Amino acid sequence: MGIHELSIDHFLSLDEAQCEQRIIAAKAALGKRLVMLGHHYQREEVFKHADYSGDSLKLSRQAAQSEAEYIVFCGVHFMAEVADILSRPEQKAILPDLAAGCSMADMANLETVEQAWRELSAVLDADEHITPITYINSAADLKAFCGRHGGIVCTSSNAGRVLEWAFSQREKVLFFPDQHLGRNTGYSMGIPLEEMVNWDFDRPNGGLTEENIKKAKILLWDGFCSVHQQFLPEHIDQFRATYPNGKVVSHPECSFEVCQKSDEVGSTESIIKTIKASPPGTRWLVGTEVNLVNRLAQQSQSEGKLVHYMAPFVCMCSTMYRIDPQHLLWTLENLMAGKIVNQIKVLPEMAEQARLALERMLAVSP
């Protein structure tokens, strides 16, 4: 007889305390066969069980270096795909809830990107003149597209280095799916706003003229993170009016206007380091996902620092929030019973092409 999968229905009614004790026991039972990766945006009751935590770049490296048989990724779908691509063939990448996706990643798909590439090629030879860059927040087939076309992957930590590498290859960049990371990074490198144009994937030729395309240095996909779009320049103005000595740090997925008003702009890892390195008595307004901000506020309080969430209302990453203790426990107890649930598999040919783009990224990252 085969091994029967334990039904998720039996786990959904469990309370947090029951889940916590059983997760601890399951982790102990699985031992070195298991490694758990937790993204900074995870809810605390899941995040605390992670063996390694970090942003996308850090967790990509952990996935590649892991010796465990099972890589349970407490994050979203594209992260588990990266873990599968970078891990060894015998390792299994697992996502506790398959519904944990990314709305930004969904704004670019292979069909629309290939259509854009064809339209750009009608104006100039895209493979000769344009380096495609996909943010790590994208599906594996888009990473494979970049691998095939001499392109690369970036994260919010290394976007500057990746853009420098891209411009050393060709004179233009197609950057997808997040326009804000591309614009903020390009501007910080001295590229004028008029040389960065939005590619509207719902319109022929991205809504651009041939002249727009030829003059542009960076073609920005018209995508965005809904969480980071909640932060507005007026939130910063209100904070500064109340706390004139306060500091502002924002994630580069925020709008250009928000980043320009901020004292510091950086990835989740950079935000954490910036606040940790600040002296006691510092007050910070932070523009990124609420679970990370709450964690920072709690940790910083004992150091005499005050951390505020930028928006006046809470807007969490709803897809990240889908990973709950119940789904995590269901995943682990199935593994204990010899059953793998929610394994994420990238097709071998796609994985090989995506790995090229990811390895280019890792090579230019410190």
The pLDDT of residue 101 is: 65
For residue 355, which of 156, 72, 86, 74 has the smallest C-alpha distance?
A: 86
Residue 83 has pLDDT above 80, yes or no: yes
Interatomic CA distance for residues 34 and 15, integer angstroms: 24
Q: Exposed, middle or buried: residue 4 (CB in 10 Å: 0-12, 13-18, 19+)?
A: exposed
- Residues pairing with 173 in the sheet: 131, 218
- Is the pLDDT reported for residue 77 higher than 70? yes
**In sequence order, what are the residues at sequence separation of 6 or more whose Cβ sits closer than 8 angstroms to the Cβ of residue 214?**
123, 124
Q: Which residue has the tokens 């041939």?
A: 210
* β-strands 306-309, 247-250 pairing: unpaired
Query: What's the average model confidence in pLDDT over 51-79?
Result: 86
**Regarding the domain delimited by 228-309, which CATH topology (the fold level of the hierarchy) does it fall under?**
Rossmann fold (3.40.50)
Q: Are 163 and 154 in contact (CB under 8 A)?
A: yes
For the cut 50, the answer to whether the pLDDT of residue 1 exceeds it is no
Per DSSP, what are the bridge partners of residue 198? 220
The model's confidence at residue 49, banded by pLDDT at 50, 70 and 90, is very high
Query: What span, in angstroms and rounded, lies between the C-alpha atoms of 286 and 297?
Result: 10
User: In this structure, are residues 95 and 77 in contact, taking their beta carbons and an 8 Å threshold?
Assistant: yes
Q: Are 130 and 220 in contact (CB under 8 A)?
A: no
Closest CA to 83 of 57, 101, 102: 57
pLDDT value, residue 135: 95
- Say if residue 293's pLDDT is above 90: yes
Who contacts 239 (Cβ-Cβ below 8 Å, separation ≥6)?
246, 248, 285, 308, 310
CATH code, residues 105-225: 3.40.50
> For residue 175, what are its two tokens?
């950057």
Exposed, middle or buried: residue 190 (CB in 10 Å: 0-12, 13-18, 19+)?
A: exposed
Residue 359 identity = E
Answer yes or no: is pLDDT of 70 > 80. Answer: yes
SS3 63: helix
Please report, for the chain, the start and end positions of each structural domain, with discontinuous segments joined by +. 9-101+320-347, 105-225, 228-309
Question: What is the model's pTM?
Answer: 0.90
CATH topology of domain 9-101+320-347: Rossmann fold (3.40.50)
Residue 309 has pLDDT above 50, yes or no: yes
Q: What percent of the chain has pLDDT over 70?
A: 96
Q: Is the pLDDT of residue 286 over 90?
A: yes
Of 2-6, 61-65, 87-91, 221-225, minimum mean pLDDT range = 2-6
Q: How confident is the model at residue 312 (pLDDT cuts 50, 70, 90)?
A: confident
Distance between CA atoms of 135 and 131, rounded to whole angstroms? Answer: 13
Q: Measure CA 311 to chain center.
A: 20
* Residue 128 or residue 76, greater confidence: 128
Three-state SS for 95? Answer: coil
The residue assigned the tokens 């001295």 is 190
Which of residues 40 and 82 earns the better pLDDT score?
Answer: 82
Q: Which pair of tokens denotes residue 244?
A: 């004139």
Q: What is the mean pLDDT of residues 16-27?
A: 95
Q: Per-residue pLDDT tens for 238-264?
A: 999 999 999 999 999 999 999 999 999
Q: How far is the C-alpha of 222 from the C-alpha of 179, rounded, in Å?
A: 6
